[in-house]
Amino acid sequence: MCLGHYAGLPVFVQGGLPNEQVQVEITKITSKYRLGFVKNLLGNSSKKRIESDCSHFGECGGCQFRQIEYSHELELKESALQRAFPGNLVEVLYGSAKEYRNSVKWNSDGYRLGFFKSNSNDLIPIDKCQNLPQSLQPKELLKNSKLIKTKLNQKEWKFRWNGMEIFPYQKVSQNMTIGDKIFYLPKNSFWQSNRFLLELWLEKVGESLNDCKSLSEFFCGVGTIGLGVPQGFDKYLGIEGDGNMIEAAKKNAYNMNKNHYEFEQMDLYSKSLGLDWKKKLLCDGMVLNPPRNGLSSWIIETVGFARPKILVYSSCHLATLKRDWEKIKKFGYTITKLILFDFFPRTAHFEILLVAVR
Ligand SMILES: C[S@@+](CC[C@H](N)C(=O)[O-])C[C@H]1O[C@@H](n2cnc3c(N)ncnc32)[C@H](O)[C@@H]1O
């Protein structure tokens, strides 16, 4: 995102590169700022610029980085992480930058599938999205009358692919695999979307927890991390807000012979925990994997109470991770590992794995 100014207001522009002069199409106007994307280049383009491989790029809100080489995108992401955590070594791990997603949320106008224009609800019909495997492309889905009725009578169509079958996952449950582990997912549940990096991510989380016999996990989903890491724990407690996912996590634990693992449903943003709960959460290792909002003040308080030896915080949002870390480090933690997992190539997003010890 670049910053320009027009008529006394800031204009945030997607698709520009340093030192370029560009013509911008404005997509959103507020009293405080405008948003837009690069419509045309005026004058010389940056040496880093390449021809985008997608005809929808710029207009479509999905990708922000198709105008540069993938290697340069990784450099930009790494430097953003490095600036946020100066003095720490950043490791960058990535997989294929194409066809990497295992799920998609298509929008529909009743006739076609597409994505919304950036910052608007205007549909851009899409013929092919480079981030999706063949099976999740509109043509393929529309061919399959079992998945989509001939009339697209829904505004949103969510599909997930497990390598063999496609599921309309807002309506049906399904199984997903990581290595030789099978996870049951209830309908409409969260699952990490990068199909190439999930196993490596869990290996790295597992390595960090090698010295732990007990583990507490906040935002545990269907048990992806607690059950997905290679090792087991003598004592485990996972907390998650979605009751169906908690039931699924219990079922997954049972199927993986981890009957002693405990899972509890709780709204981790609105509720603060009493002393009994905090005591229950005492552990050697703690995993935090929140949504973009990051941690509530009481979760941070609980970290300070439990003071686990090892803390693993995996986040898809650099700003909230940084905000939370500034508070957590006051409990005496130092960072031992900072890994950028590029879960979302060609977009401005990425996953960060931060490991800290005290
Ligand atoms: C980034 S996902 C991580 C899930 C899991 N660790 C995984 O890797 O599949 C965040 C999780 O937070 C859960 N969540 C969202 N809001 C919540 C809330 N208010 N209280 C508790 N959990 C919540 C979501 O259901 C989701 O499972």
Rounded Cα distance, 124 and 118, in Å? 10
Which of 42-51, 151-160, 268-277, 317-326 shows the highest mean pLDDT? 317-326
Contact at 8 Å (CB) between 110 and 153?
Answer: yes
Residue percentage of the chain with pLDDT more than 70? 99
**CA atoms in the 13 A half-sphere facing the CB of 273:** 26
| Span from the CA of 70 to the centroid of ligand 1 (angstroms) | 29
Which pLDDT score is estimated for 256? 98
Which pLDDT score is estimated for 39? 84
| Span from the CA of 267 to the centroid of ligand 1 (angstroms) | 10
Which pLDDT score is estimated for 304? 95
- The ligand 1 atom at the shortest distance from the C-alpha of residue 191 is 9
pLDDT > 60? residue 150: no
Question: Does any ligand 1 atom lie closer than 6 A to the CB of residue 224?
Answer: yes
Question: Does any ligand 1 atom lie closer than 6 A to the CB of residue 219?
Answer: yes
Question: Does any ligand 1 atom lie closer than 6 A to the CB of residue 220?
Answer: yes
Give whole-number Cα distances, 103 to 110, 198, 219, in Å: 21, 14, 20
Which pLDDT score is estimated for 8? 85
Question: Does any ligand 1 atom lie closer than 6 A to the CB of residue 68?
Answer: no
| Span from the CA of 56 to the centroid of ligand 1 (angstroms) | 31
Pick from 137-151, 178-192, 215-229: least confident: 137-151
Q: What is the pTM of this model?
A: 0.93
Question: Does any ligand 1 atom lie closer than 6 A to the CB of residue 162?
Answer: no
- The ligand 1 atom at the shortest distance from the C-alpha of residue 228 is 8
Amino acid (1-letter code) at residue 281 = L
Which pLDDT score is estimated for 46? 86
Pick from 84-88, 208-212, 278-282, 338-342: least confident: 278-282
Identify the residue whose C-alpha is closest to ligand 1 atom 5.
Answer: 221
DSSP 314: E
Identify the residue whose C-alpha is closest to ligand 1 atom 14.
Answer: 241
Question: Does any ligand 1 atom lie closer than 6 A to the CB of residue 116?
Answer: no
| Span from the CA of 239 to the centroid of ligand 1 (angstroms) | 9
Q: Tell me the pLDDT of the chain averaged across its residues.
A: 93
Region 212-240 average pLDDT: 97
Amino acid (1-letter code) at residue 152 = L
| Span from the CA of 288 to the centroid of ligand 1 (angstroms) | 10
pLDDT > 70? residue 149: no
Question: Does any ligand 1 atom lie closer than 6 A to the CB of residue 267?
Answer: yes
Sheet holding 2-6, edge to edge: 2-6, 9-14, 34-42, 21-29
Ligand 1 pocket test target in 176, 190, 239 with most atoms within 8 Å of CB = 190
Question: Does any ligand 1 atom lie closer than 6 A to the CB of residue 6?
Answer: no
- The ligand 1 atom at the shortest distance from the C-alpha of residue 242 is 25
| Span from the CA of 110 to the centroid of ligand 1 (angstroms) | 31
Identify the residue whose C-alpha is closest to ligand 1 atom 23.
Answer: 241
| Span from the CA of 355 to the centroid of ligand 1 (angstroms) | 19
Which pLDDT score is estimated for 13? 87
- The pairs formed by 182-187 with CB atoms below 8 angstroms and a separation of 24 or more are 182/255, 183/222, 183/223, 183/224, 183/227, 183/228, 183/248, 183/252, 184/222, 184/248, 184/251, 184/252, 184/255, 185/222, 185/245, 185/248, 186/222, 186/244, 186/245, 186/247, 186/248, 187/244
Pick from 146-160, 161-175, 217-231, 334-348: least confident: 146-160
Identify the residue whose C-alpha is closest to ligand 1 atom 4.
Answer: 221
Question: Does any ligand 1 atom lie closer than 6 A to the CB of residue 315?
Answer: no
